[in-house]
Each structure stands twice: as C-alpha cells, then as structure tokens.
Amino acid sequence: MGKGTKYVAREPDASGFIAYPDSEHAVWRELITRQHKVIRNVACDEYLHGLKLLDLPEDRIPQLEEVSSVLRRETGWEVAQVPALIPFDTFFDLLSNKKFPCATFIRTPDEMDYLQEPDIFHEIFGHCAMLTNPYFAEFTQMYGKLGYSASKEDRIFLARLYWFTVEFGLMNSAAGQRIYGGGILSSIGETQYCFSDTPERRPFDIVDVLRTPYRIDIMQPIYYVLDGLKQLYEVAHCDIMDKVRQAKELGLFAPTFPPKQQTNPEKLAARA
C-alpha cells in the first residue's frame, strides 16, 4: 500500500492477468457508463478519437495489456502497473520512458464521485485516450525527462504545469472550448462544473501556469485554455526550465481558494 492511501493495488499473476472481483467490475461499469454520457459534447475530438481507438470494455475493468497494445501502436507508449502512490523519481522516470503509471485498484462505491488517489478508472479512462495523440504524448514524455532531473523546488513549479494541462486542461476548438485534461474527463462533477459560470478560464501562458497555486481536493477555480494541442507540443520544445526561473523571479499569484492545513503542492504523483 502506498503511503497515505487506504487502497491496495491488485497484483498480476505470472501471465500478467489481474483478477478483479465482480463488485469492482460493477464500479467500473457504473463509472464508464455515466461518464460516456457527460463527455459526449464537451471532450475534445482528440480524446474522443483516442477513446474510440482504445475501445474500452464497459462491462469489466480492462487488462493493462489491452490498453498498452493500442498505445504502442499509436505513439509507442504503454501503461505500467504501480502501487496506489509512487515516489516522484519513479513517476518521472516512467513518463520519460513512455510508460504511464497505472494503479491497479478501483475506487469504492462510497467514493464514486471523488477520491484523492488515482485509481484505474482515472488513469485509463481519463488519461490513456490522450496518449494516442502524438502532440500530447510527446509533451508528457518531455515533462517526465525534465521532472526526473529537476530539483525538489523546481518540481513543485513543474507540478503546476502538469496539473493545469494533463490533469485539468481545456483547449479551444472549432466547436468551442473542449476538455483534454484527465482529471476533468474522469470526474462527473468536474466535467459538468468546468464550463459553468463559477470558474475562471484563462488563456494558456506557461509562466502564468507555473505561478498559479492549486489544491487537489476542490473543484478548480481556474482553468488554462490552450489554442490547440499543437501549442502543448510547442511548450514541450521551449526552454521550460527557463520559464520556471522566470516564474520564481516573479513569484506566485495569490491563491483563489481558502488554505487547507498540510496541503502539499507537490502531491502530483498521487493524482497523475
């Protein structure tokens, strides 16, 4: 069990097969059925295309190899089985090697709408469809390489970049603003909330993103909006660490949310 979590990831057998009880398949079935309904007109085309490629089962939790076989074919990525929480070095190392960490447990019925730990539904349904997109996949690998060699202080800044893109990113499209962030796409509440009148939606600027505090346990008060996924690819190829230095010099923006005792701004691997 990872530190700070009640969940225990299920281990594969010698052939790589992970056995889940019927009760956990039922949780997957309920989650994917209701989420398909709410993302229909708000998810970006790239995500919907990736979801079609993955062809995830609706009646059971997919095996990791089913997902990996599609990702390898499309972008060279795969999913890697991990415990509920992993060290930051492990997280960044996996991403840098095109392996997306996936904890092999699923939330309990009493946490259907929100949990702090990333379960298999969040990882597979929320993130893996986007990893079929070359722009998104390259950004994620570049992020892993930077994070692995970064200092602890710099990782805190980089965590904000991941949070406001991979987890909670929005983008413009010909049809209007759409969702590409897995933290939104795997959450029924956040999917409905992010386009309401409550949050602020700001044009994406990497230095602004690096300066923006966040909390992991609330609906996001701010979302950053890309002009398109090509912009994410361009970010991957700019001097991100120079942007981090600029953000340090300018300082953080004032939080737009109340403080929470012992909130860890670097708690990225627990939500990735």
Q: Which residues are catalytic?
A: 122, 127, 167, 186
| 127 marked ligand binding residue | yes
| 167 marked ligand binding residue | yes
| 49 marked ligand binding residue | no
Distance from C-alpha of 130 to C-alpha of 126, rounded to nearest angstrom: 8
Judge contact between 185 and 35, C-beta under 8 A. yes
Binding-site residue ranges: 122, 127, 167
Binding-site residue ranges for Fe cation: 122, 127, 167
